[in-house]
Homo-oligomer: A and B are copies of this chain.
């Protein structure tokens, strides 16, 4: 089982109200020095079997047709080592 991550972000030229709301709130919460914030979606896909070229092509197609709205969003597809343990917050 391998994990493939699809990150979907608004295209740079598209206004990101959510990101702006986060950015405006940061100084009020005492966090300075953040020039810009963009917010998007992260999909973690657990893939049966090896992630070969064919599987990646299929996932790319899935991202393009289903996970992202390519009119306003860009996406990236990355294979992630499943052994990498996500940095838990606690």
> Cβ of A25 and Cβ of B66 under 8 Å apart?
yes
Q: Give min CB distance, A86 to chain B, whole Å.
A: 5
> Cβ of A41 and Cβ of B43 under 8 Å apart?
no
Contact of A42 among B1, B41, B67, B87 (CB under 8 A): B41
Q: Give min CB distance, A33 to chain B, whole Å.
A: 5
Q: Give min CB distance, A19 to chain B, whole Å.
A: 8
Q: Tell me which residues from 3 to 62 in chain A have a Cβ below 8 Å from any Cβ of chain B.
A: 7-9, 19, 22, 25-26, 29, 31, 33-49, 55, 58, 61-62
Q: Give min CB distance, A53 to chain B, whole Å.
A: 14
User: Which residues of chain B come closer than 8 Å to A37, judged between CB atoms?
Assistant: 43-46
Task: Answer whether residue A89 sits at the interface, using C-beta atoms and an 8 A cutoff.
Answer: yes
Knowing A33-B55, A58-B31, the reply to whether A87 touches B74 (Cβ < 8 A) is yes
